[in-house]
């Protein structure tokens, strides 16, 4: 269970989610885009459970939305696996 997550600095050369080495053209790092996507997907959602039947090195968490729909966020620390299939309750 993680109750809070902190970043040392959002914008910082070398350490931030946004690199401001060029102050006129700050560069969002890949982790910034990942966090933005994660927050958009989780908006209004409730954690339901961790899915354990996944390949080693893969993580999968199931969430529900207020309309009772469910979705799974899945990721790996390894090289991205080939996406074979996406399934949902309604096909």
pLDDT digits (tens), the chain, 91 positions? 677 777 677 888 878 889 998 889 999 988 888 888 888 889 999 999 999 998 888 899 999 999 999 999 888 877 665 655 556 665 4
The β-bridge partners of 82 are none
**Residue 16 gets which letter from DSSP?**
S
Same domain for 29 and 55? no
Residue numbers of the domain that contains 3:
1-43
d(CA 88, CA 70): 8
Note if the pTM is more than 0.85.
Answer: no
Tally of domains in the chain: 2
Is the Cα torsion angle 41, 43, 48, 49 positive or negative in sign? positive
Verify that 59 and 18 share a domain, yes or no.
no
Residue located via tokens 């968490």: 61
On whether both 48 and 31 belong to a single domain, the answer is: no
At residue 40, the 3 state secondary structure works out as: helix
CA 30 to CA 77: how far, in whole Å? Answer: 14
């Amino acid at each position: 269970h993680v109750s809070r997550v902190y970043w040392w600095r959002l914008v910082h050369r070398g350490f931030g989610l946004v690199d401001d080495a060029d102050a006129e053209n700050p560069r969002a790092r890949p982790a910034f885009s990942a966090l933005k996507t994660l927050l958009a997907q989780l908006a209004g959602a409730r954690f339901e459970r961790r899915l354990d039947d996944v390949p080693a090195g893969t993580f999968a968490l199931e969430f529900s939305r207020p309309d009772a729909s469910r979705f799974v966020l899945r990721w790996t620390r390894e090289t991205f696996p080939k996406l074979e299939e996406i399934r949902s309750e309604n096909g």
